[in-house]
Amino acid sequence: MLSTIFIPHGHCYLWKNGLVLLHLSSDLLIAIAYFIIPIMLVYLVDKREDIPFDWIFLCFGAFIIFCGITHLMEVWTLWYPNYWISGCLKACTAAISLSTALLLFYLLPKLLAIPNVPKLEALNTVLAKEISERKKIEAKLQIQTQELEEALEKLQSTQAQMIQNEKMSSLGQMVAGVAHEINNPVSFIYGNITYANEYARDLIELVEMYGRHYFQPPEEIKNKITAIELDFLKQDFINLLDSMKIGASRICDIVLSLRNFSRLDEAEFKQVDIHEGLDSTLIILENRLKGRSEKSKIQIIKEYGQIPFVECYPGYLNQVFLNILVNAIDAFDSDNSQNNSNGVKNKPNLIKISTKRVSNNLVLIHITDNGPGISSEIRPKIFDPFFTTKKVGKGTGLGLSLSYQIIVDKHDGKLFCESTDKQGTEFFIEIPICRTL
C-alpha cells in the first residue's frame, strides 16, 4: 500500500502550479463541506426528536464523511502515491453509499406516506375541532357535575329541614299536651296551698287553745298526743305545705320554660328577650347539667350584657341554643367517662354563656366550654348535614347543620366555631337586632 513504484498524481498535471492549485483547493473545499454537512445532520436529529427514521440521516452522514475523506486522499496523492489506501477508502465509500441507497429504497414508500403540509394542516384543523368539542363537553360535564352537587346539597338541606320541621312539630304537640295535662292540676294545687296553709294554722291554733284551757285531758287523748308527736307535727305540717308550694311553683316554672322554649305558635319574626330563651333552654337541660355524680356536674357561668330585644324566630333560635349546649354536654360525658377509665383526675366542667351588643344592629351570643375540644381534621365538617362523631343511635348529625341554616338562612346572621383539641370549644352566634328589609 505504501509502495513507491507509483508516481504521485501531480505528475499527471505536469506539476503545473495553476492546475495543481485548482485541484488542491477544490478537493479541500469539498472535503470541508462534506465534514460540515454530517455535523449539521447530527445536530438536526438531536434537536428534532419528532423526525421519523432519524437513523437514515446518520447513514447519509457516514456516507458523506467517507466522501470527504476520499477528497482529502486526492489531495494526499498529489505528492504521495498511496493509491491502494485511496482505493480502499473509495471501496468503503462505495459500500456505505450502496447500503444507504438500498435503505433509502426500502424507506421510500414510508417516506411517501408521510403527510404533506396541506394534509398536516387538514389534520391539525380536525384535531383542533376535536379538542374544541372535547373542551365543550368537559365544560358541559363540569357544569352538570356542579349542578348535581348543588342539587344533592339542596336535597340534603331540604331533607334536614323536613326532619327539623317534623321534630319541632312533634315537640310542639308534646309541649301542648304537657301544658294542658299538667298546668291545670298544678295551678289548682298551687292556688289552694295558700288556703290549706291558712286552714292548717287555724286548726293548730285551735288545738293549742284547747291545750291552754284543758290541762288534764282524758288518758286516751294523752296517749294519742304522744303517739302522733303533736309538737313535731304542728311544726312540720307547716313546713310540708311550704315545700309543696315550692314544688308546685317549680313545676309551673318548668311548664312555662317549655312554652318559652318551643314557641311554635310564633311563625313570624318577633322581638324577644334572648336571655329568656337561654334561661328556658338551661332549665330544660337542668337534669343533664346536674350529672350523675359530682365529677360529671357542669357549672354554668352567665355573663349577660345589656342587649335590647332581638327580632327573630324564638323557637328556632332556642333550638340552636339547645343543639350547641347538648353537644357540649355530650362531649363532657364522653371525656369524663374516658378519664375515669384511664384514672385521670377530672377538671371542673364549665360552660360559659355571654351576650353583648357588638354594633348598632348586631348582638353576639358566645357559648364556650372547657371540654375536650374538636380536632382540626373534624372542625371543617361540623356544619355538614348528617356528619357526626357520636355512636350509632346517639346522634343524627343534623343539629349543627340545622343550627347553621337557622342562623344564616333564617336570620341573616353568622355561626362559626373555634376550637383547639383538648382545650375546649367556642361557638359564636351573631344575629341582627332588627331585620333589614
Question: Is the pLDDT confidence value at 429 over 90?
Answer: yes
Question: What's residue 427's pLDDT?
Answer: 93
pLDDT-based confidence at 392, cuts 50/70/90? low
pLDDT score, position 164: 61
- Residue 370, pLDDT > 70, answer yes
User: What would the grid cell of residue 280 be?
Assistant: 328556658
Helix (H, G, I), strand (E, B) or coil at 6: coil
Residue 412 has pLDDT above 70, yes or no: yes
| Boundary of a domain, candidates 86, 113, 140 | 113
Q: What is the pLDDT of residue 346?
A: 62
Picking from 66, 97, 113, the residue at the C-terminal end of a domain is: 113
Query: 227 or 363, which is more confident?
Result: 363
pLDDT of residue 74: 83
pTM reported for the whole predicted model: 0.50
What does the DSSP 8-state code read for residue 347?
P
- Does residue 416 form part of some domain? yes
pLDDT band at residue 43 under the 50/70/90 scheme: confident
Rg (CA), the chain: 52
- 148 assigned to some structural domain: no
Find where cell 289552694 sits: 192
Can you tell me the distance from the alpha carbon of 93 to that of 75, in angstroms, rounded to the nearest whole number? 17
Decide: 34 and 73 in contact? Cβ < 8 Å.
Answer: no
71 in a structural domain = yes
Residue 225 has pLDDT above 70, yes or no: yes
The distance between the two most distant Cα atoms of the chain, rounded to a whole number of Å, is 183
Share of the chain above pLDDT 70, in %: 80
Q: State pLDDT tens for residues 76-95.
A: 888 888 888 888 888 888 88
Buried-exposed string 402-430: b where 16+ CB fall within 10 A, e elsewhere: bbbbbbeeebebebebebeeeebbebebb
- State which of 65, 85, 113 marks the end of a domain: 113
CATH number at 365 reads 3.30.565.10
Q: Which residue has the higher pLDDT, 391 or 39?
A: 39
Torsion of CA 248, 251, 252, 258, to 10 degrees: 180
The answer to whether residue 257 is domain-embedded is no
Instruction: Retrieve residue 7's grid coordinates.
Output: 508516481
Selected residue with higher pLDDT from 211 and 280: 280
Assign 420 to helix, strand or coil: coil
Name, in order, each residue with C-beta under 8 angstroms of 200's C-beta and a sequence gap of 6 or more.
Answer: 237, 238, 241
Asked if residue 40 is part of any domain, the answer here is yes
Q: Alpha helix locations (H) across 294-379?
A: 314-342
Which stretch of 118-132, 172-186, 225-239, 244-258 has the lowest confidence by average pLDDT?
A: 172-186
340 or 67: which carries more pLDDT confidence? 67
Q: pLDDT band for 217, please (50, 70, 90 cuts).
A: confident
Count of domains for the chain: 2
Task: Determine the pLDDT at residue 222.
Answer: 78
Lowest mean pLDDT among 43-57, 140-154, 396-410: 43-57
- Over residues 291-329, the pLDDT tens digits come to 666 557 888 999 999 999 999 888 888 888 988 898 888
- Of 350, 358, 275, 282, the closest CA to residue 314 belongs to 275
Looking at residue 432, its pLDDT comes to 92
Comparison of pLDDT for 404 and 167, the residue scoring more: 404
**Residue 426 within any structural domain of the chain:** yes
User: How many Cβ atoms are within 10 Å of 281's Cβ, its own excluded?
Assistant: 24
Residue type, 69: I
Does residue 246 belong to any structural domain of this protein? no
51 lies in some domain: yes
Owner of C-alpha cell 343550627: 403
Question: Whole domain around residue 27: which residue ranges?
Answer: 9-113
Work out the average pLDDT over 29-37. Answer: 85
pLDDT single digits (tens) 327-357 = 888 888 877 776 665 545 567 889 999 999 9
Please report which helix (H) or strand (E) contains residue 206, including its range: helix 117-213
Judge whether 416 and 374 are in contact, CB under 8 Å.
no
Q: How many other CB atoms are found less than 10 A from the CB of residue 326?
A: 16
